[in-house]
Every structure is written in structure tokens, then in C-alpha cells.
């Protein structure tokens, strides 16, 4: 080995990101294998390569013992102390046994082992990189289909998106960029195997962390996610800062943030609800967008009976029970949804209570109860007398009004009778026609004048 070889190792370190020290160790292991194979040695040997000059040496290692049973792996204490008086029993003594010429076969063997170790080192680096990204989101490019599985290029390695982890109805075209969730990273003989998912609830959580700065900064926390991929998801959020609205932060201005996530998931609907440590409030929130009248929790059984208005029952249950299922997954409670009429029939709520409780108007107030004692009506026995007086007074008023009207009409009649025919001016037919024409002309001129003013 020479300096060119050392420089080549450092170039590999820069180009492929493999540490030169790992390569040196791989070469040392390769030389040990080549030495044992070509020289038929069963000795325990060690190869040391100078990191600066590239010079290597082979050392045979023997254990110090009292009685030597195998000269290839043991040495007597006396012989060892002849080399160094400080040797003790069980110490290791090294003898240099570097062969003068490894030969072409030895060099070829060393080359093969070096290549293998480099490949293993690359696989190990890839595994170490992605094993720490389990439960994280990655962006890749769709390469091809293998049966029903989708192969996604992540840059350094290809990952697998199995059929059961694909969103129902979603079609992946070659060279499409997609975001996926890393479910598992396994070591295999062919290198790391990475399993991806587009249906995992963790994908929703990671997408919100990318889009919502408040979640990334820890101000808003995602407490839970329930999902039916491709259809609907629910997330529960909580704000550590009372001045920050958790739901509003996730929705974003004009819904921009949540709409970006919906687009990435090809139109999947997302319900964002407020988290609460109060089971009643949390269960009621989880059934959004349905409105809840009342929640009756059974803490020991972790079962909640939820009463909703009759017209909201189908909305609360959802299509094929989807909304109720997602709410149950999100809260961890078994939810039994009933309409108000059903709740009344099962005596869960009193009849007529509904959303607003009804109260006895005076039942709770003793000061009003005395009004029930007033049943005496003797003071009102003369109602009939008052009624007769009222009828008589009304009749008198009507007669007076009639007399006044008669006097008024009589006055008009006398005034008309006093007029003579000479007091009236007779108008001929020609004068009537002329007056009509004059009136028509006046109306026409007035109309033109109004139009002129309008144009101005």
C-alpha cells in the first residue's frame, strides 16, 4: 500500500460519506482473512495499517502460559520474559509475521473483502439514518409499481409503500412527489428495508407539525388523532397559551393551513376539535359538527350516553356510523348516541326538558305560594251591573254621533238649494276639446323639460 491508496480512501470518505477509519478496519479484516487463507495459518493474527503511510504489518498473537499445549497460540512464561521481563501469565505476546509477498491471490481476496465491507458500511449508515426517523414524515418520488406495492425513491434508498398502507382510491403516477409516514425500518441481508404508510394517523400529526408553527413551537399540542384514511379524520388540540386559539391556529387564515393538508391527502375531510380534561366536554366536542344537548358519562365503565336534538341524530352518527366511530377512537370512550325523543322515552331526561330545563313558575319560591289562597270573588258580583251601564252609555254615544251627521248633511243640502242657475257658467263642446288639447301640449312640454334637466 502507498500514499495513493490512502488518498483513495479519503476520497471515498468525502464522496460516499463513509468514515476512513471504517475503511481501514475493513482492510485490516480483509488482510487477516487473506493471510489465513493463503498461508494456511491457524494462528491468531492482527493486522495494523499505518494511517499516514499506508504501511501494514501482520502480528501473531500468543497467550503466556506455564505449560505450552499449542505452540501456534501459546508461549511459555520463560520465553515471554526473554522478550520482556514485565510479561505475566495470561498476557498477550505479539510476534511480527508479515509475509514478504502476499501475492496476487492475497491482493484479490483483500479487494473483495474491502468492497464488501464498504457496501456493508453504506447500508449501516443508511440504516442508522432512517431507524431514527421511524414515526417521522419523509418526502419521496414514486418510481414504479411492483405488483400492488409502490416503490418510492427516498434519495439514498428505495422504500416500499404496501397496498394496505395506501389510501383507498388514490392513484400514484411515476415521478409524483408524495409525503409518507415511516412505519418501520428493518435490517436484512440485502440492506435496510423501509416500510411507508399513507394511512397511518401519525401522518396527520406530522403534516400539522409542518404546517402550523404553533405546534412546532410547542404552544399548541395535538392530544389525539383518529382517522379513516381517504374519508375523514379528527384531531384534538390543546393550547398551552390562553391567548392562542388552538383550533384557529390549526385552521389558519382563511383556512390556508388545513386546506394545504387536505390537498396533500387528496380531499380527505378533517375535523379539528378542542381537547378537554372534562370527559363530558371532550365527548361533546368530538362529535363535531353535530350539536350536543347533554352528555351522561359512566366513569367506571368509560361509557358516555350522548343526547342530541332529533334533527341532529343522523349528523352525530355520521355516514355508516363514521362520525361516532371516529369520536370514540379519539376520546377512548364508548359513545351511545340518542335523540331527545329517545332519551325521554328511556327516562334519561325528563319529558319536556329538552335542551332547556323547565321549572315550576312559583314552586321554588315560598313567598309566591300565598297567592294560591285568594279564591274569594264577592267583590266582583256586580259585573252584570257594570256591563248594563256600559251598553247604555255606548248606545247614547252612537245616537249623539248620528244626530251630528244628520245636521251636517242637512246644511250641505240647504246650501246647494240656495244656488241659482245663473251662478253656473255653461261650457260648449268646442271649448272642452280645446282645453284637452292645451292640457296635452302642456304635459308634452313639461316632459321634455324634465328630460333636459335629467341630461344636465
- Residue 389's CB: how many other CB atoms inside 10 A? 10
State percent of the chain over pLDDT 90.
37
Instruction: Write the pLDDT tens digit of every residue in 365-389.
Output: 344 344 344 344 344 344 344 344 4
Which of 201, 208, 224, 303 has its CA nearest to residue 257? 208
- When pLDDT is averaged across residues 40-67 and rounded to a whole number, the result is 79
> What are the φ/ψ torsions at residue 39 (nearest 5 degrees)?
-110, 5
**210-275: what CATH class?**
alpha beta
Domains 210-275 and 276-373 share a fold: yes
Is the peptide bond between 431 and the residue preceding it cis, with omega within 30 degrees of 0? no
Summary mean pLDDT of the chain: 78
Tens digit of each residue's pLDDT (9 = 90 or more) over 280-291: 999 999 999 999
CA dihedral 121, 123, 124, 128 (to 10 degrees): 140
Q: Which residue(s) pair with 56 in the sheet?
A: 49
| Buried/exposed code over 306-333 (b: 16+ C-beta within 10 A; e: otherwise) | bbbbeebbebbbbeeeebbbbbbbbbeb
Please choose, from the candidates 336, 330, 136, the residue with its C-alpha nearest in 3D space to the C-alpha of residue 232.
330
Please tell me which residue, 448 or 316, carries the higher pLDDT value. Answer: 316
What's the confidence (pLDDT) of residue 352? Answer: 54
At 78 the pLDDT is 83
Residue 430 neighbours by CB distance under 10 Å: 8
> Within 13 Å of residue 245, how many CA atoms lie on the same side as its CB?
8
| pLDDT band per the 50, 70, 90 thresholds, residue 396 | low
Which one is predicted more confidently, 241 or 380?
241
- Note whether 174 and 143 are within 8 A (CB): yes
Instruction: Pick the range with the lowest mean pLDDT from 31-35, 256-260, 383-387, 397-401.
Output: 383-387
What is the torsional sign of CA 333, 136, 205, 160? negative
3-state DSSP assignment of residue 336: strand
Given this model, what pLDDT does residue 141 score? 94
Report yes or no: 130 and 165 within 8 Å, Cβ to Cβ.
no
Confidence check: pLDDT of 218 > 60: yes
pLDDT of residue 116: 80
- The arithmetic mean of pLDDT across residues 9-28, rounded, is 78
Higher pLDDT, 161 or 364: 161
In this prediction, residue 4 carries a pLDDT of: 74
DSSP summary character for residue 383? H
Close Cβ partners of 143 (under 8 Å, ≥ 6 residues apart): 151, 152, 153, 158, 174
Q: Which pLDDT belongs to residue 427?
A: 54
Binned at pLDDT 50, 70 and 90, residue 68 comes out as confident
> Does residue 118 surpass a pLDDT of 60?
yes
Domain 3-127 grouped into CATH 3.40.50.10540? no
Question: Contact 180/161 with Cβ under 8 angstroms?
Answer: yes
CATH architecture of 276-373: 2-Layer Sandwich (3.30)
What's the average model confidence in pLDDT over 339-367? Answer: 60
pLDDT band at 322 (very low <50, low <70, confident <90, very high): very high
| All three cell numbers of 276 | 378537554
Phi, psi of 228 (to 5 degrees): -120, 100
- pLDDT above 70: percentage of residues in the chain: 73
pLDDT value for 425? 52
Q: What is the pLDDT of residue 44?
A: 81
Q: What is the pLDDT of residue 444?
A: 56
Q: Is the pTM of this model over 0.75?
A: no
| 150-182 pLDDT, tens digit each | 999 998 899 999 999 999 888 899 899 999 999
Cell triple for residue 58? Answer: 501482520
3-state secondary structure of 238: strand
- Backbone φ and ψ for 341, nearest 5 degrees, come out as -65, -40
Q: Which residue did the predictor score with more confidence, 132 or 31?
A: 132
For residue range 351-361, list pLDDT tens digits in order.
Answer: 655 543 333 33
pLDDT tops 90 at residue 227: yes
More confident residue, 299 or 73: 299
Q: For 133-197, CATH number?
A: 2.40.50.140
Query: What ranges do the domains of the chain cover?
Result: 3-127, 133-197, 210-275, 276-373
* More confident position, 390 or 454: 454
Ramachandran bin of 451, using left for φ above 0, alpha for ψ from -120 to 50, beta for the remaining angles:
alpha
DSSP 8-state code for residue 377: -
Stretch 103-110: mean pLDDT: 63
Residue indicated by cell numbers 271649448: 431
**pLDDT tens digit string along 176-197?**
999 999 999 998 888 889 999 9
Reply yes or no on whether the pLDDT at 139 is more than 90: yes
Judge whether 154 and 148 are in contact, CB under 8 Å.
Answer: no
Give 253-268 pLDDT, tens digit per residue: 999 999 999 999 989 9
Whole-Å CA distances, 337 to 92, 285, 302, 354: 78, 14, 14, 15
What was the pLDDT predicted at 375?
A: 40
Of residues 270 and 369, which shows the higher confidence score? 270
> Taking the CA atoms of the chain, what radius of gyration do you get in angstroms?
50
Amino acid at each position: 500500500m502507498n500514499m495513493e491508496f490512502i488518498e483513495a480512501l479519503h476520497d471515498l470518505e468525502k464522496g460516499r460519506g463513509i468514515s476512513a477509519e471504517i475503511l481501514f478496519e475493513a482492510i485490516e479484516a480483509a488482510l487477516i482473512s487473506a493471510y489465513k487463507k493463503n498461508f494456511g495459518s491457524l494462528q491468531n493474527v492482527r493486522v495494523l495499517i499505518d494511517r499516514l503511510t499506508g504501511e501494514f504489518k501482520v502480528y501473531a498473537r500468543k497467550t503466556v502460559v506455564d505449560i505450552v499445549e499449542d505452540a501456534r497460540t501459546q508461549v511459555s512464561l520463560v520465553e515471554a520474559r526473554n522478550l520482556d521481563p514485565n510479561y505475566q501469565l495470561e498476557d498477550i505476546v505479539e510476534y511480527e509475521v508479515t509475509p514478504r509477498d502476499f501475492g496476487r491471490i492475497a491482493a484479490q481476496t483483500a479487494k473483495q473483502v474491502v468492497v464488501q465491507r464498504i457496501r456493508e458500511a453504506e447500508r449501516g449508515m443508511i440504516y442508522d439514518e432512517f431507524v431514527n426517523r421511524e414515526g417521522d414524515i419523509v418526502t419521496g418520488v414514486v418510481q414504479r409499481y411492483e405488483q400492488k406495492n409502490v416503490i418510492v425513491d427516498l434519495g439514498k434508498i428505495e422504500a416500499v409503500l404496501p397496498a394496505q398502507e395506501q389510501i383507498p382510491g388514490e392513484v400514484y403516477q411515476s415521478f409524483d412527489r408524495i409525503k409518507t409516514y415511516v412505519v418501520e425500518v428493518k435490517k436484512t441481508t440485502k440492506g435496510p428495508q423501509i416500510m411507508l404508510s399513507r394511512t397511518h394517523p401519525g401522518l396527520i400529526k406530522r403534516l400539522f407539525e409542518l404546517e402550523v408553527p404553533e405546534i412546532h413551537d410547542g404552544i399548541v399540542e395535538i392530544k389525539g388523532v383518529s382517522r379513516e384514511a381517504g374519508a375523514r379524520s379528527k384531531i384534538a388540540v390543546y393550547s398551552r397559551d390562553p391567548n392562542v386559539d388552538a383550533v384557529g391556529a390549526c385552521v389558519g387564515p382563511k383556512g390556508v393551513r388545513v386546506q394545504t393538508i387536505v390537498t396533500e391527502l387528496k380531499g380527505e375531510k378533517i375535523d379539528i376539535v378542542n381537547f378537554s380534561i372534562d370527559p363530558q366536554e371532550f365527548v361533546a366536542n368530538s362529535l363535531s359538527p353535530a350539536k350536543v344537548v347533554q352528555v351522561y358519562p359512566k366513569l367506571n365503565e368509560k361509557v358516555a350516553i350522548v343526547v342530541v336534538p332529533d334533527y341532529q341524530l343522523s349528523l352525530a352518527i355520521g355516514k355508516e356510523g363514521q362520525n361516532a366511530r371516529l369520536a370514540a377512537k379519539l376520546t377512548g370512550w364508548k359513545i351511545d348516541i340518542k335523540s331527545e325523543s329517545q332519551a325521554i322515552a328511556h327516562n334519561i331526561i325528563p319529558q319536556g326538558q329538552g335542551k332547556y330545563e323547565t321549572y315550576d313558575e312559583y314552586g321554588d319560591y315560598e313567598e309566591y305560594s300565598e297567592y294560591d289562597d285568594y279564591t274569594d270573588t264577592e267583590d266582583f258580583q256586580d259585573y252584570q251591573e257594570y256591563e248594563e251601564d256600559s251598553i247604555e252609555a255606548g248606545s247614547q254615544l252612537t245616537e249623539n254621533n248620528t244626530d251630528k251627521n244628520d245636521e251636517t248633511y242637512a246644511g250641505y243640502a240647504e246650501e246647494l238649494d240656495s244656488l241659482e242657475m245663473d251662478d253656473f257658467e255653461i261650457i260648449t263642446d268646442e271649448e272642452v276639446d280645446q282645453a284637452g288639447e292645451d292640457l296635452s301640449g302642456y304635459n308634452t312640454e313639461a316632459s321634455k323639460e324634465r328630460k333636459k334637466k335629467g341630461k344636465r
